[in-house]
Amino acid sequence: MVKSIRLYMAPLLLLPALTSMAAADDAVRNAQGLLVDLGYNPGPIDGQIGRRTIEALEQFSAASGGSFDGTVDDAELAQLAAAAERVRPRLNHPGHLFDLAHAIESSCNGLGLGRFVTTDFGPTAYPPIISFDDSQSIGMSAKREASVSFAQALVVHAAAAGFQGNQPAAAKAREALLAWAEAGAGLDTAIDNSYLGAGNAGGYDPEADAPVLDMENAALLGGVALTTTYMLGDLLTAQERETILAWALALVNKYRMDAAVMDGTSNGVFMGSYPALLGRIMEGDAAGFESLVSAYYRLLRNRVDEKGAILKNANRGDRALHYQSIGILSMMSLFELVEAQGNAVPADLEADLHRAVTFFLDGDRDLSVIAPYAKMGFNNPGTGQRQERFYRQSSEHYWWMVDYIARYPDSENATRLRALLGPNDTFEKVRANIMGATWAAYPINCIKSFDLSAQTTADAVAYVRENYPAVIVPSASGRKMGLPHSSQAVPISFARASVMRGTTRSNFETFFVNYGDLHIGDEALGNGSLEIYVDFAGDGEDLSNLALLRIVGQRTSLHGADSKKADFQVCGQVASQQNGSNFRLHVGEMEEMNSCILDLMDPPDAQKWASLLDGLQKLINEADESPGQQRLKQLFDYMVY
């Protein structure tokens, strides 16, 4: 009898305890969810306070200036909820893209009114109505190039108008925007997602109406139109603004590029969803803004590893550093929009940004950092040993670099970025030129003030040379590569030769080698010239940075019909300019392309250029002595002997 009473009474006695335990589980479960929102990893959201949950709570408490006492109580939940609310991506300011006061306060970093626009802008330079139905990929599309040029000009004109009151610039930007908007540019093109293959074997369906990457560019144009409309502000009438916004939003919404971010399947971290985010801000779509930013956050937490490599960006063969940089651009552009809405960027994502920049800078200095990722060749060929360094010559990359310097001016990364920009900027100096990039919201000169003064840059260069010695090129005594030899080559002879030095930049030099009475084998070819580019993987004052020599030939110099119509770009990104007007034979990096290029030529043309490459040493050594000849011989001897 007593036993049965005890069995019966025990559950009644335990009810308050069970209720308390359930409440405790709920508190822990709530804390785990908030920790996830804040970017910590508490493990499964199951109400169990295991090791990972305790570690996450300890990290949060330490970051908040306190310590975790082992119990999740109401005060702790309130603190977590308040912190999570600060980083929740709310649309607090619809129609507000960025802080125009940045430019006003910095006077566009001291640039005068006349520095803004020097090129023509209008139907004579850019088509009044653009379409995206040329059935070519983004890298080979004449219309894409036109739309990019249009977008860049549009941005700098809008900046000149909105930030500095330049009325002629305002009139041109307004006229162009209205022309495209009233014509519904790009809205009639059929959408076709046809894509053949995957990875390096992929290609675009030549019958597609709008290949995938051109669709991205179409959405991007809509994003640029939204940005420039915002910059023009009251310089547009209400009706003009409504017309332009309706077109821009229709363009963005038609070529939707945000699905892969929303479902977490994106091949890396890119800007494809950026126009959609701009659209949601301008439309006042609060739920859409929050869901897309939250999806970006999830993507970043899944893509940035513990070393700072952005996965599926840093995995892309010889373009890995380029795509790591594009990933950083995407992160910083996202953070700018989030902060413009009065939201804080989650601390873990800001830490990811710093690691990603450090990884990028380390990879630029030492290819062994990037090679383990790059050798995967995801969607791009190569092993990472011959990195494409587009980020040294492109304003869309400079945008994130100077934005980072503006945000974190005294950081180690900012110092290293100043040193990178100083010697490698081919636009004469970032601080002295307007640069509007299609991928960036507005000209980099008009964001928050940044210090790229001559003295600060010189100090940064000295600091980096002392603390981060370059290891890109293994030997300081010479490359000793030897000239690439082709079976098509025969000996050359000539009566005379001279070398004239052309353009000289910090990271490349050009030379013109003129020859007279040239003979290739028994054939007399008369007079002619070679254009030679010398590229450095860093400051050209340091010979150890020497990367390659490029012999550049013009298509017009070729005689055979097959040679003239050959598409040299099939041999690789650096085999020819995008317009195909020239071809490039290499000594040093990427010289394996030579055989591909020569095989596309008719035999007589191939023999001529193979022989000139093989006889380059003879041409340089026997040319008349001059400053140009001495400098080219110094570079040639360092690389080849």
pLDDT, one tens digit per residue, over 117-151 is: 444 555 445 444 555 544 444 444 555 555 666 77
What share of the chain in percent tops pLDDT 90?
Answer: 23
Q: How far apart are CA 351 and CA 345, in angstroms?
A: 10
Dihedral Cα 135, 140, 144, 145, nearest 10 deg: -160
Tens-digit pLDDT profile for residues 162-221: 777 778 888 888 888 888 888 887 787 666 555 433 333 334 444 444 455 566 777 888
DSSP 545-569: GEEEEEEEEEGGG--SHHHHH--GG
pLDDT of residue 573: 64
What per-residue confidence (pLDDT) applies to 21? 59
Contact between residue 189 and residue 222 where contact means Cβ atoms under 8 Å apart = no
pLDDT band at 477 (very low <50, low <70, confident <90, very high): low
Range among 136-140, 185-189, 275-279, 388-392 with highest mean pLDDT value:
275-279
- Which secondary structure element, helix H or strand E, spans residue 519, and what is its range? strand 508-520
d(CA 115, CA 468): 35
Whole-prediction pTM value? 0.67
Structure tokens at 178: 């209205």
Cβ atoms of 362 and 394 closer than 8 Å: no
The Cα 174–Cα 166 span in angstroms is 12
Instruction: Specify the higher pLDDT residue, 549 or 543.
Output: 549
Contact between 204 and 192 (Cβ < 8 Å)? no
Higher-confidence residue of 360 and 598: namely 360
Q: What local confidence, expressed as pLDDT, does residue 485 receive?
A: 76
- The 3-state secondary structure of 564-591, one letter per residue: HHCCHHHHCCCCCCCCCCEEEEEEECCC
Question: 592 Cβ partners below 8 Å, 6+ apart?
Answer: none
The larger pLDDT score, comparing residue 258 to residue 211, is at 258
Domain ranges of the chain: 18-87, 103-255, 492-640
**pLDDT > 70: what percent of the chain?**
77
pLDDT for 10: 38
Highest mean pLDDT pick, 12-21, 28-37, 297-306: 297-306
Whether residue 116 is predicted with pLDDT greater than 50 in this model: the reply is no
- Classify each residue of 276-307 as buried b or exposed e, where b means 16 or more C-beta atoms within 10 Å of its C-beta: bbbbbbbbebbebbbebbebbbebbeebbeee
Q: What was the pLDDT predicted at 373? A: 93
Q: State the alpha helices, DSSP H only, in 208-305.
A: 212-232, 238-254, 259-262, 274-283, 286-303
Q: Is the pLDDT of residue 115 over 50?
A: no
Average pLDDT, the chain: 79
Gap between the Cα atoms of 365 and 382, Å rounded:
18
Q: Is the pLDDT of residue 445 over 80?
A: no
Instruction: Please name the residues in contact with 625: beta carbons below 8 A apart, sequence gap of 6 or more.
Output: none
Q: How many CA atoms lie within 13 A of 150 on its CB side?
A: 31
pLDDT of residue 86: 76
Res 321 pLDDT > 90: yes
Segment 532-540 shows an average pLDDT of: 80
Overall average pLDDT of the 89-111 stretch? 77
Residue 8 has pLDDT above 70, yes or no: no
Is the pLDDT at 245 greater than 80? The verdict is yes
CA distance 216 to 260: 12
Q: Which residue is associated with the tokens 């005890």?
A: 6
Pair of tokens at residue 460: 């940064």
Residue 254 pLDDT level (bands cut at 50, 70, 90): confident
Please determine, for residue 153, whether its predicted confidence score (pLDDT) is greater than 70. yes
Which residue would you say has higher pLDDT here, 636 or 502?
636
CA distance 633 to 641: 11
Q: Which helix (H) or strand (E) holds 339?
A: helix 320-340
pLDDT for the residue 439: 62
With beta carbons less than 8 A apart as the criterion, state whether 186 and 218 touch: yes
Cα 103 from Cα 166, distance rounded (Å): 14
Q: What token pair was written down for 143?
A: 């219309």
H or E element: which one contains 518? strand 508-520
Q: Which of 21-35, 100-114, 199-213 has the highest mean pLDDT?
A: 21-35
State residue 82's pLDDT score. 81
pLDDT value at 5 more than 50: no
**Model pLDDT, residue 12:** 38
- The candidate with the shortest Cα–Cα distance to 360, out of 412, 323, 393, 409, is 323
pLDDT at 548: 83
Q: Which residue has the higher pLDDT, 275 or 593?
A: 275
Q: What is the pLDDT of residues 54-87, one digit of tens each?
A: 888 888 888 778 888 888 888 888 888 887 777 7
Residue 104 CA to residue 81 CA, distance in Å, equals 36
Q: And the tokens for 459? A: 């100090």
Mean pLDDT of 434-452: 69
DSSP tally for the chain: helices H, then strands E: 22, 8
Q: Is 90 exceeded by the pLDDT of residue 306?
A: yes
